[in-house]
Amino acid sequence: MFFRHKKHLPCIMLLLSSTAMAETPEHLKKTHVKHTSHKKEEHYLVEAQRRTYTAEESSMGDKRATPFLQQTQTTNVVTHQTIVDFSPATMEDMAKYAPGISIGNNFGGTQDALIKRGFGAIDDGSILRDGIRMPVGRNYQGATTERVEILKGPASLFYGMQEPGGVINVVTKAPQPHWGADIGTQWSSLGGGNGHFDATGPVSNTLSFRLVGQYRNENYWRNFGSNRQTLLAPSLHWAQGRWDASVSYEWAKYNNALDRGAVFVGNNPVSGPKNRLDETWTASWGQRHLVAAQTNYRISANDRLRLSGGYNHDDYHDRQADPSAYNVQTGILTRRYRSNGGTIRANGSVALDYIATHNLWGMKHEITSGVDYENRRQDQGNFYQGPNIGGFRPSSPVYGLVKPVGTVNPASSGLYQNINSASGYFKDNIHVTKQIIISGGVRYQWFRLKYGQGIPRRITTNSSYKKALPFAAIVWQPLKTVSLYGDYSQSFGANQLPTGSTLEGGYKPTSGREFEVGARYDNGWLTGDVALYNIHKKNVLQTAGLDSSGNTIQRLTGLAGSKGVEASLNGQITQHFSAIVTYAFTEARTMRDTPQTNGKPLIGVPKHTGSAYLTWHDTLPWKGISMRAGGGVHLVGTRAATLTNSYQVPGYATVDAFASWRIPHLIGRQTTLQVNAVNLLNQGYIIAPTGSAMRNSWGQGRTVMVGLDNSF
């Protein structure tokens, strides 16, 4: 429908941008449009927004929907159509569709660890779900996700304690005011698959609901293991008069493979990606609960208040067959049993925002101000560890030598981390002329960190910190389709130790700053941007190998820097072809530290990354069947694997492809058959070095997924 009605789209979008869309909360704008007399136009707009690789606006930088050419910082959006076409399975897959993102230590493939512009780690606080900070773990669910927005550079102005590389927000599907349902299934070439349902509609004239469910049971891509999950996600949206509100809940029960990956000697792994080096009982499992809510009150046509908040709780457990030593002469790998007996990870937050648009002295002011409070807690129980056991040959593995039996390790048990944070913030985008926007803002950030570990527990850090974080930017739009921008921003936050880590030396918070300049292009069908940046970060938490108990040693480097260029091109390039093209050059180094590490590249950050995907789409000449087919390549360069750069993991290129056929009125209102191929050429590669030669995660091997989806 979107492509058949292209000539009417500009007037439709203009009409809705000044009426219905202006009244819709940002987090619901993904598809939710209020009832007006222009029902057909609304439907066309929803289709246009969802069926393209182009994002015309984002609310990440201003807490309000801002047109692409007027944004004061670099923002990348993985659109709904990108998710539908390429069917990403995890947050790590987002690195394929946005520049400047690489994969850090993902704890055996069980946790999100995205490096943005050279900085990022497990539990760095940079992943949000509908604006709510998420804990450690996997935070992307394909069944519930509408799109993913990525704000590059320091994002502390509105999002608090953050890395200077950027913040990622997963925007979930919202209730709709019209009836609709979707049921589908997907089968994997590895064995198993998943099934889902999605139903939405009005409960009354003012209340709408949505209910999403999914069950997944898929074999792991290596020689043993599986990933299982059950998910249920209900949500409600209410609107009446000047008020609107939404509330959502998500419950997930998971049991996933925990794969420590490859052991390296020099620059080479001791075995290939086919056979695992751990045991059949290795896994991570638990349950996660997430509640998010938002209430908006429109004071006037130009002023509104928004109260938002959320809470998530993850009860996590794992079992590991952890490599501890490798004998080059004998080819024997020594391993041991390790287990987190139970860890509670919980985040809660609340924010009150005042959002206004006013004319003053002949200039339009877009004001966002507010206060927020957040609590982040991690409470680990007993940590179990068994003896070192040899006899395992990676070249011809025989499993069962290590049993899941161990005793409590007092030094590694009882990790406790509690962070309380409170802040106030203000930002004003001043439209000086039709072509020039000057933006200024400030955040005053306070937090207290309490940290300890061991049995009995010993509190080693109990301190508070505070800092004012300024922001400044300018946007100049000399042409209707082109804008230039520059900005300065800062970050500030707590250095957080993940479970199974020890800190070498004293504790300090981390802070960063960035200068950025860029240019954007938007002709309505195709968007492109290029940005140059320079980041300095103080007190960088880095991995420095393993201690005698197998814990990851963390320590703070004095200063690290990242500079580079990012470019992307997204959208429709001809009537029947769309493209996603990205490139990033990133030079991230330790700038002030010991002689052994000074000047060395940061762990896991490639100098060069890029992607190129091309999609063909058209309606076939029979029975109104529409078809989409595409594919492309994702390229990642060589990366340093340790703080001293004692070895490197090689670069790689993976090829993905898909084809889908949308058939009207076959089973339901619409039936879609889709085939996806991931790593089509079955490239063996390391996706995530960890700072230790004993643990390096393999990237997924060739997998073909066949899906069938029915809409009613």
In a domain, 185, yes or no: yes
* pLDDT tens track for 491-507: 998 876 666 566 666 66
What is the spatial distance between Cα 308 and Cα 209, in angstroms, rounded to a whole number?
19
Residue-level pLDDT at 122: 77
Residue-level pLDDT at 595: 84
180-190 burial code (b ≥16 CB/10 A, e <16): eebbbebbbeb
CATH of the domain at 226: 2.40.170.20
In the chain, what percentage of residues exceed pLDDT 70? 89
Q: How many domains does the chain have?
A: 1
Residue-level pLDDT at 660: 97
In a domain, 85, yes or no: yes
What is the spatial distance between Cα 491 and Cα 493, in angstroms, rounded to a whole number?
7
In a domain, 25, yes or no: no
In a domain, 580, yes or no: yes
DSSP state of 415: -
Residue-level pLDDT at 525: 94
What is the signed CA dihedral for 473, 479, 481, 486, rounded to 10 degrees? -20
In a domain, 206, yes or no: yes
Residue-level pLDDT at 46: 42
* pLDDT tens track for 402-432: 999 999 999 889 999 999 999 999 999 999 9
Residue-level pLDDT at 29: 38
SS3 per residue for 130-183: CCEECCCCCCCCCCCEEEEEEEECCCHHHHCCCCCCEEEEEEECCCCCCCEEEE
Both tokens of residue 400?
Answer: 């069962």
Identify whether the C-beta of residue 453 lies closer than 8 Å to the C-beta of residue 415: yes
Residue-level pLDDT at 24: 34
Residue 300: partners with Cβ closer than 8 Å, 6 or more residues away: none
What is the spatial distance between Cα 47 and Cα 168, in angstroms, rounded to a whole number?
24
Residue-level pLDDT at 111: 86
Residue-level pLDDT at 6: 36
DSSP state of 651: P
Place of tokens 């698959």: 193
For the chain, list residues with pLDDT below 50. 1-48
Which has the closest alpha carbon to 22: 301, 354, 208? Answer: 301
In a domain, 23, yes or no: no
Which has the closest alpha carbon to 401: 386, 414, 411? Answer: 386
In a domain, 47, yes or no: no
pTM score, two decimals? 0.89
Residue 294: partners with Cβ closer than 8 Å, 6 or more residues away: 25, 27, 245, 246, 247, 306, 307, 308, 309
What is the spatial distance between Cα 618 and Cα 596, in angstroms, rounded to a whole number?
57
In a domain, 2, yes or no: no
Q: Please give the C-alpha separations between residue 156 and each of 162, 229, 443, 514, in angstroms, as whole numbers.
A: 6, 33, 8, 12
What is the spatial distance between Cα 590 and Cα 599, in angstroms, rounded to a whole number?
5
How many Å from the N-terminal Cα to the C-terminal Cα in the chain? Answer: 17
Residue-level pLDDT at 298: 97
Which residues constitute the domain of residue 692?
52-711
Residue type, 20: A
Residue-level pLDDT at 54: 95
What is the spatial distance between Cα 214 and Cα 199, in angstroms, rounded to a whole number?
12
Residue-level pLDDT at 37: 35
* pLDDT tens track for 553-598: 767 778 999 999 999 999 999 999 999 999 999 999 999 888 888 8
